Structure formats: structure tokens, C-alpha cells
Structure 1
Amino acid sequence: MDSSSSTRQYTVRSPFAHTGLTCAPEVAEQVHHLAAPYLTLDQGAAEPGAWRVVANPPPRLDATVAETVTAQGEVAVEYAVDHADRVLFHVAPRSDAWITQSVLRATRAVHRCAAGRQGVLFLHAGLVELNGIGVALVGGSRAGKTSFIMASVLNGSGVMVCNDDVSIAAHADRPGVIGTGWPRSISVRLDTLELLFGRDRAEEIRSSLSHPANETLPTLRDSGVEPHGTALLYPWEYADILHTKIGQSTKVDALVYLSLADDPAEVDLAAVPQAASTELLSERILRLPNKHLNIFGHEPSPGSVERTRRALTALPSFRFRYDFRDVHQQVDRLADYLSGRI
């Protein structure tokens, strides 16, 4: 892939916005591959006024504002932003893999900010269809969301929409709550891969992954920041490994506040009263659409998110502490429990 070769213009669309992308055809092909099924990409320039993401540095850096994204365990990614013309340029690093990852990350950030302006809530939760029931698995980092969703897919009962940072909306013109996923890498604990696939197959999977951050993530394990170790999967890699499809969105039928039990005796599954659910939910609503690059305007109009908050707190809510080592059986337990109550 030669990012300096002739570039073309593309339009990227989500349910919330459209943006422009200027890059080499090889980059566009990779972005299209990585963004499915959440974003679509078509040839042709975006409409005037839309934000544009450009894969090459600007001709004059002094006419732009520098923005840097630094994620734990990754190299820093540098951008240059022309706010007047609504253009974001990728500056560095210039490796093929990072150019693709960078322009996709920036495009996702613009669309998530647009969703925020429309009153969409972002929730620290995974979203899975469990035997046809839309379940938002609410919990912080290392709560076991990704492990649980992957096990549900392997069991044949689950379809993943996203493993984290789901966007939630309650629309005035249709009933229910809709959760939508985003094209972001899937962070998986290394011991999850071994638990689900066995040591040999887990090592094959790790060696086949293409996210560029996997080259530097072992430093987190070596330093003790991530004792279990972690790997990043692109959505298409996840789908290939689990022989499954990924859903773009689904109706949310229940909230499950998920956590890992330190001991099998601590496993617990119970309904949560609405007042308690409201408090738990408020702790997991993300205050910003993105971890980085919230520079596109994301503040909703006053009161626009209240309809979604009310709809979320009215959903059936449950608390589930599960045993990581027994995850397949725990998936069946939750599926059976919810099918009798939803």
C-alpha cells in the first residue's frame, strides 16, 4: 500500500452522519473492510460542509492545529486539523497499517460526535442478541463483557453487535430502545482466548492478528498494567475466528450489570430494582462520545437525552456475577433466566 500514490474521494455513512475520506484506493479498501457492518463507504466526494478525513499530511502544518492520540500500550498517532475547512489530516505514523487505523479512528470519532449531537447516549456496555433477546451487558473494563459475548457466540446462542461503548437511542417515532455498534478494535484477554480455544489455537489466533498495536501491547503485561495480557482483534477477524456475523444494531430488551466473581460461591443472578438500576446506569454512561478527538462538536440540545435515559431505566434490569472459568455454562444460565422473564 503506497499512501503517497494518487488519492480518491469517498463518502462514509453511518445512521448518524456522512463524512468525506480522501486516500489511496488501497487504504479505502481496507477501511471499508474494517468498518463493516457499521459504516458504509462509497466512491465520490461528500456533500459540502461535511467533515473530511485525509490520509496524507497537509501541505502546510502551520495552518492547522495539532492533535495527538495516545492510547495505553500504543504508539502516538498525530493529526493536523483545519477547523475552518473541516478537514482532519493524518500525519504520523506513516506505516501502512497505522494510516488505515488512524483514518478509520478519526472517521468513527466524527460520526460518534454527530450521534452525540442527536441526543444519543454512549454506554460502557457490550450488546449481544442472546437467543433473540437484546441484552446490554453493562460494566467497566475487565468486567468480563467480551469473554461472555464470545462464549455466547461459540455456544450458538449469541450474536454480537459490539463488545463495548454501545450507543443507545430511544426514538420518538418508534417504540423501544435501539443499540448501535461501532467499528472499533475488540480487546480480548489472552487467557480468554486460551479458555475458549485452547492454548495452541489461541497462539495461532494471536499470531494471525493484524492490528498494529499488537506489536506494542505486550509491554502492558510486562509492566504489570495488564496482568492477563491482551490482544486487539478487528471486527472482521472476530467474525472469521468465531465463524459468525456481526449485527449493526438491535433492540435492547434488558440491562445486565455484569462482573466477574472471584470465587464460584460468589456467582449471583438477580433482578435489580428500578431505583438501583438508575444509579448503576448513571455510573456507566460515558460523558464523551470518544476517548480522544472530541473536537467536532458533540453537545446535544437541552433535554434531548432524557427520553433515552427514561427508556433505559424502565427496562428490566439484572445483576450477574459469573465465574470466568465456567463461562459457557454461565451463558446458558443467563439465557435461560432471561427467556423466562423478558
Structure 2
Amino acid sequence: MTAPAATHHYVVRSPFARTGLSCPRPVAEHIDRLAAPYLTLAPGPREPGVWRTIADGAPPGEAVAESVAAQGESAVDYAVDHPRKELYHLAPRGEAWVTQSLLRATRAIHRCAASRQGVLFLHAGLVRLGGLGVAVVGGSRAGKTSFVMAAVLGGAGVMVCNDDVSLTADRDGTVTGAGWPRSVSVRLDTLDLLFGARRARAVRDSLTHPANETLLSLRDAGVERHGTALIYPWEYADLLGSGIGSSARVDVIVHLSLADDPSEADLAPVAAADRAALLDRHVLALPNKHLNIFGHEPDPDRLDRTRHALTALPTFRFRYEFRDVRRQVDRLARHLHARIATP
């Protein structure tokens, strides 16, 4: 019988928190790769009073069961010991799922800490495009990921995040957006559009997120029309020949949507009086889709300061045709640089 891998201890850092991590060294190496550049990991014991995520070991009997069930994925089971601030991964087993589970839980703890500090979570991507930090706001299926991928393809821009940005404002009104280590959910027809059908198939076959083994069943069952694949950040960077930034200044907000017909494509400024209501439609009420169990009540003063600073930024609506996304990126970039001074 093969002996279980030795457990090692690590400290995980973000701008908002420090947490502990206990797992075999190969799992830690995978987490380190997947978390970069958003979180850093170093050997060492956890500090007193902080949360720790644990890959193995038996949880105490008083630990509370928690389960995460995302659509199209296997359910992930945890046990949480709140008094000791310890979270144990239980299932599914296998190195790929243990890695994904511990990273998800660690991210949730850090995002709850960010929420307590008044960080505003927005359903938006953030990309540095020609020197400008562009927050691309929109709901699900608004075309954010497709647009951001086209914007950074071949090194033309740098992605901070594609779908979920955390925002804070300094007292002078400067807004900074930060990303998080999470997989990028990409429509399969986006891969076909950007890379051609043959290369897109090769890309799908090369992806390593364990949920991709089951996600395709959603399209086959008619749950999803286009189908999706999950791409880890390092795979995303390699695929697009682009860098990934952990954070960037936000200079402009663009509310994005897909046009049903080329004649509906449009680019227009948003009046100052309309910006707050439009923005609030896309503010995330909770820091995480799952595992909001670590305390996340926000600092209201800092949250209000960030909301006010965001509504003061230049803001536009942009509807674009999906099949013309590469040209539409260039169109938007030219428009913004003609109206906004590059910092």
C-alpha cells in the first residue's frame, strides 16, 4: 500500500488577509501556480487567529458539513470547525479536485476579509487596454469574457479579470480593481471565433480543470446553448500570449451587451445622473457564490466612497456584434483614447 503523502504547512497572502494551508507539497505547488498573480504562497505555519484550509486529516466531530454544488460540476464537500477556524476538504478525492477545492475555499476566506474592509464586488471584467484601465460591466452572457479575450489576444492588452472585479477607492477618488484566482468560463463558440474550429478543439482537449469532464454534458442536454469550458489563468495567459495583472487603476467604465443584429451595435456616453442606478444592477451582494461563512459584513463608509468614485468616472454603453469582436475592441479603444487622457 502506498503511504499517504506528507502534509506541509503554508501561509497564503493577499492584499486583504493571510491564511494557513496544510496539504501535500504537490498540491501546494499546483495551488501556487493557479493562484498567481493574485495570491502568494510560502512555507510556514499559520499565524494565530487566522483560518486554515486542510487537505487531509479527520475533522473533529463537532465540525459542520458544507457542500458546494456548481452547475455541471461534481459536488465538493467540506467540514468546517468554526471555533478552531479550520476547513477540511472531504470529497471528491484526487489531486486535481483537492487542489481546486482548497483554492476555492482559500479564495472565499480572503474575499470575505476583503468584504469586511469595504471592498465593492462588481460583475465586471477589468483589462488594461492601451494604457487605460477599462472596467467592462455586464450580466451573464453579456459578452464580457469574449471581449476581454479579444482585447488581450497576442499581447495587445493585459487582463486583470474577466468577470468579477473587486474595487476600492482612495480618498482622492482613484479607483483600483483587483482580480482573484478563479477559472475563466469561456463559451465554446468564443474559442471557435478567436482561434478557428481546428485549434479550438485542440485547446479544449488540452485544458486541465477537472470540471471540464462533465461541463460538456450541459450543452448535450440542452441546458446550455453554446457550451462552456473552464480555463485556468495560466492556461489563459499561454493561450492568448498575454500577461495577467493582479490589479489595475480603473479609468473608465463600459457597460457591455451583445447586439442581436449589426444595426443594433451602438456606443454612447451614460449621463452622470444615470450612472449609479446602472452600476448598482451589477454590484454583487455577497463576496462569494458559495462559502459565505467567514463573516463578510462590509465597512459602509469605505463602500460608499467607492460607489461615489465609480459614478464619477467616464461611463459608456457599448453594444457590439459577437462575430465582429476583434474589430469592435479596436473601435472602442480608439473611441476611449480620443476622449480620455492616458494616465
TM-score normalised per structure 2: 0.97
The answer to whether the aligner puts 1:104 opposite 2:96 as a matched pair is: no
Partner AA of 1:184 in structure 2 = R
Structure 1 residue 27, shift from structure 2 partner = 0.4
Structure 1 residue 175, shift from structure 2 partner = 4.6
Native 8 Å contact 2:159 2:244 kept in 1: yes
Native 8 Å contact 2:135 2:250 kept in 1: yes
Native 8 Å contact 1:179 1:250 kept in 2: yes
Structure 1 residue 156, shift from structure 2 partner = 4.2
Give the structure 1 partner of residue 145 of structure 2. Answer: 146
Give the structure 2 partner of residue 36 of structure 1. Answer: 36
Give the structure 1 partner of residue 208 of structure 2. Answer: 210
Superposed CA offset, 1:116-159 (max 9, x none): 00000000000001111000000011111111111111264321
The answer to whether the aligner puts 1:325 opposite 2:323 as a matched pair is: yes
Native 8 Å contact 1:3 1:27 kept in 2: no
Structure-2 separation of matches of 1:3 and 1:134:
50
Structure 1 residue 223, shift from structure 2 partner = 2.2
Structure-1 separation of matches of 2:218 and 2:269:
36
Native 8 Å contact 2:59 2:88 kept in 1: no
Give the structure 2 partner of residue 11 of structure 1. Answer: 11
Give the structure 1 partner of residue 129 of structure 2. Answer: 130
Structure-2 separation of matches of 1:336 and 1:314:
22
1:1-342 matched pairs, under 5 angstroms: 4-60=4-60, 62-154=61-153, 156-172=155-171, 175-342=173-340
Structure-2 separation of matches of 1:183 and 1:236:
10
Structure 1 residue 57, shift from structure 2 partner = 4.7
Structure-2 separation of matches of 1:88 and 1:114:
16
Change (3 A) 1:3 1:229: farther
Native 8 Å contact 2:176 2:250 kept in 1: yes
SS of alignment partner, residue 302 of structure 2: coil
Aligned length in residues:
339
Structure-1 separation of matches of 2:215 and 2:169:
37
Structure 1 residue 46, shift from structure 2 partner = 1.9
Structure-2 separation of matches of 1:46 and 1:341:
49
Superposed CA offset, 1:247-302 (max 9, x none): 00000001100000010000000100122121110000000000000000010133
Structure-2 separation of matches of 1:225 and 1:312:
36
Native 8 Å contact 1:155 1:328 kept in 2: no
Unpaired stretches in structure 2, ≥5 consecutive residues: none
TM-score normalised per structure 1: 0.97
Structure 1 segments of 4+ aligned residues over 3 angstroms from their partners: none
Structure-1 separation of matches of 2:101 and 2:57:
12
Unpaired stretches in structure 1, ≥5 consecutive residues: none
Structure 1 residue 205, shift from structure 2 partner = 0.3
SS of alignment partner, residue 284 of structure 1: coil
Native 8 Å contact 1:3 1:56 kept in 2: no
CA RMSD of aligned residues (A): 1.2
Superposed CA offset, 1:194-242 (max 9, x none): 0000011000000000000000101211222210010000000000111
